[in-house]
Structure 1
């Protein structure tokens, strides 16, 4: 084969470092962006936080003076968008870096709501939901702490005291020998966050004395005695090894309470907890009444009592790090009714105040010695970083303005008026790629008069209607939630009945689709929603 040289012209796409950084910054959440900015500030000497001095800056300079009525409230071009009553999108620009903080009553009731849910309406700050169990559970009032008779477990939990610390304090009042105290302390430290003892006593003993069977038997005996003491401490149910034992411990504590009104219901509830937990979950009243030898009325009362218990005794003590959702975009309504206008603006609280350090940049211009090329590259990286962050916020504002324009009815009437919307529609309107819209709408939040929602919340698939139109899946889920909230608790609606009700509204939705939406809304099936 003969070798030779040939000239060929071709095109190919190359991702420059600047473009790669722009794409990466676009998909970061507000929290991740803050971490990225802090990393860049630590690594790049030319990047600085904007202060009183002038510089090549980007972001917000907070001022005590309010802007004039005809001035926008953000610090760079394209930072404010608005929609008039006809749905036309307009934007205002300004080169000023002066920004007035929003007044307390400017948006909604004066506070930005943050209501996260499984539907993506914001959030991250929720306590684990166990359905209806534990919702009305009163705090147990048993105290073994001597001088702490007035202290309640709930108060301790609010004071960020851990479950183990609270139990150790109670254990100090018990007159135990040194070895028994150590055994009780070991069991307390072996509890999980929910207050359960997951490992069997034999395994705990084997872990302490792996090669001595005689010592293991002695440890198991001491652990058994210590476990009985542990299960008498507050909160009730702590130290249980399974759910049935946890509920039984709480019921026995209620039996000892002289103020308890229904001792018969407690006794029946204890019998029910000793049976298969599946029968309780299915609320098989007839089967439970037959097995426990109780009347159906007593079984109903007992199940009602069980549903008020706390399945996770240690839940009140779990110090969960709550990440408050800070919206990236603020939408305010001006006027009322169909002619209402909507103002879309970036949240100044999440916008960084960055600049290129003047002193270092000026010194670099006059310095041509060793390392000049490397420092010049770092200066260029700082300018790229500031430009890419500005482009990130510009893109978020453009997408948010387009969403508000498309979902105008939602901002007036709520989620029942949500219309079908897909990423491609916004991408075609703004001249962007669909993947760019996906990055913008991920982990970015919008504050609206109805709460704070992730931008992805405003996108939903379409369901057909009898008139040939389309209905948004978000609106259908809201309609299902409305049907369930207004149903008769003694005769809850089945999925088939909800499907028929949707058809009466002109929405074609199959039963299995209703079941999928119901599960996404974390709504229990009809047999579990039925009131006893």
Structure 2
């Protein structure tokens, strides 16, 4: 069960750990052989072995662990290999951290030793979003107690203005309002920028609540002028530190666990080849057993060694069998999902996703619901329409006005489309959205609309308003 829930990358790490812990287990790159489908039904049964059991070494059948072939029944092969099991090296960047970049920028300013110490302390107090969320008085006390830097609030405020000159613009702000103001003041002054500064400085509450009528009356301006000022504000970054971090961070790749392709109008499923490593017993261990078998006088130390070897071999057998079962479970589960949602995988239209819950697939493949959940929760599949998280194919059913079961995914898709096409000067409230979906054949309550809207991360009508 633990192996099944691991996605490909985590499984590879687990495999490496097992290879380190068990010297009797080795991996080897040999000529690949296709794993026939009926191999999944030929699981070898191995005798259970208790590590605490006292073994009579005279009763060990050494021949069971010896073979002329270096990789006999221990060899694990792959079912439906895809072409992604080649070793691929990905170069890693060595980026300068956000805070180190700020420190480097400070070096371009002419500062006294005391000013530099204060500036570096302020930079060190900036969070990953780029904000300084501590009060000046708290930092003055902290510098005195922890750094032995004795200063006052006026001096720290002065140094903070220097920090505010650093890039990205807005860094070191104490709240969103100050962050936006700092970025606007870094811009080339224009009529729209000046108005935007005035709005953020003096009418921030009205702006955040989108009370545009109040702003029009306050400044006695046209809608066009207000719109241009708001566009200047919308270009700003509310998390200046985050922009630096995302641009320098090493992007983590998603490795699909499965691949679905359409071949001659039929769906074809393959399991990522990395999930099917080639494992075999160490040749050295076989030679050690052979030496023990050929020895006439078997010492106590040799018998202890054979006990140890048998434990490691049994452990290797168990691990290989567990991997084989993992392959089988992953493949049959995804195969059932693929055929259940065949209309979607052939067409790519999300509205063709059928209602599907874990129990539907569990019943099809004869597995426990928890096992299907482990496969679905952390695995990705590469489809002709992009790489998808498998659990996204699962959804509950809801009846339309024809009494037919439709997927809640289909309803969310339609709701999202309706909101995207609405008049943003008069966005639709939830009760009107409910009426529109009812007209389209989906009788849904207003509270359900609100629930789906929140799941889609769409704000309420007032916050969607534009001028």
TM-score by shorter chain over 0.5: yes
Tell me what 2:375 maps to.
440
Q: 1:144-193: per-residue Cα shift (whole Å, max 9, x none)?
A: xxxxxxxxxxxxxx983333333333322322222222222222222111
Q: Map 1:77-476 to 2 at 5 A.
A: 77=37, 102=83, 160-210=95-145, 216=150, 218-254=151-187, 257=188, 260=189, 262-263=190-191, 265-275=192-202, 277-289=204-216, 293-295=219-221, 297=223, 298-318=225-245, 319-335=248-264, 340-364=265-289, 366-367=291-292, 369-413=303-347, 414-476=349-411
Is the 2:24–2:316 contact (alpha carbons within 8 Å) kept by the matching residues of 1? yes
Against the structure 1 CA distance between its residues 275 and 376, is the aligned structure 2 distance closer, same or farther, given a 3 Å change threshold?
Answer: farther
With over 3 angstroms needed to count, the CA separation of the structure-2 counterparts of 1:79 and 1:327, relative to structure 1, is: farther
Alpha-carbon separation, structure 2, partners of 1:327 and 1:374: 38
Partner of 1:47: 25
- Return closer, same or farther for 1:316/1:79 CA change in 2, 3 Å cut-off: farther
Return 5+ residue gaps in structure 1 as ranges. 1-22, 53-60, 63-72, 81-94, 104-157
Matched-pair contact (CA < 8 Å) for 2:181–2:200: yes
Q: Say what the alpha-carbon RMSD is for the aligned residues.
A: 2.9
Q: Aligned pair in 2 of structure 1 residues 357, 424: CA closer, same or farther (>3 Å)?
A: same
Question: Which position in structure 2 is the counterpart of 1:510?
Answer: 445
For the Cα contact (< 8 Å) 2:80–2:271, is it kept in 1? no
Asked whether the 8 Å contact 2:27–2:280 carries over to 1, the reply is yes
Q: CA 1:177–1:406 in structure 2 vs 1: closer, same or farther (change >3 Å)?
A: same
Task: Measure the CA separation in 1 of the matches of 2:411 and 2:287.
Answer: 60
Distance 1:309 1:240, change over 3 A: same
Q: 1:100 to 1:519 in 2, by over 3 A?
A: closer
* Aligned-pair CA distance for 1:247: 0.5
- The offset of 1:350, in angstroms, is 4.0
| Contact 1:285 1:300 (C-alpha < 8 Å) held by counterparts | no
- How far did residue 321 of structure 1 move? 4.8
Alignment partner of 2:323: what SS? Answer: helix
Distance in 1 of aligned mates of 2:385 and 2:34: 23
CA distance in structure 1 between the partners assigned to 2:146 and 2:327 by the alignment = 64
Change in 2 beyond 3 A, CA 1:208/1:362: same
Aligned residues of 1:329 and 1:345 also touching (Cα < 8 A): yes
- Given the superposition, is the C-alpha separation of residues 74 and 190 from structure 1 closer, same or farther in structure 2, using an over 3 Å criterion? farther
User: Could you give the per-residue CA deviations for residues 281-331 of structure 1, whole angstroms, max 9, x where no partner exists?
Assistant: 3201233455x5453634443323211111111222214453311111110
Q: 1: distance between equivalents of 2:6 and 2:82?
A: 25
Shift in alpha-carbon separation, 1:454–1:333, aligned structure 2, 3 A: same
Q: How big is each residue's C-alpha offset from its partner over 1:258-277, in whole Å with a ceiling of 9 and x where there is no partner?
A: xx5x42x3233223223575
Alpha-carbon distance change, 429 to 365 in structure 1, aligned in 2, over 3 angstroms: farther
Taking the aligned partners of 1:439 and 1:100, their CA distance within structure 2 comes to: 22
Q: 2:282, 2:258 → 1: CA distance?
A: 29
Normalised to the residue count of structure 1, the TM-score between the two structures is 0.71
Q: Distance in 2 between matches of 1:513 and 1:225?
A: 52
d(CA) in 1 for partners of 2:353 and 2:372? 19
CA contact (8 A) 1:463 1:508 kept: no
Number of residue pairs the alignment of both structures matches: 411
Residue 35 in structure 1 maps to residue 48 in structure 2: no
TM-fit CA distance, 1:242 = 0.7
1:97, distance to aligned residue in structure 2 (A): 6.6
After superposition, the Cα gap between the structure-2 partners of 1:520 and 1:385, relative to the gap in structure 1 and judged at 3 Å, is same
Aligned match of 1:25: 3
Contact kept, 8 Å, 2:82 with 2:270, in 1: the verdict is no
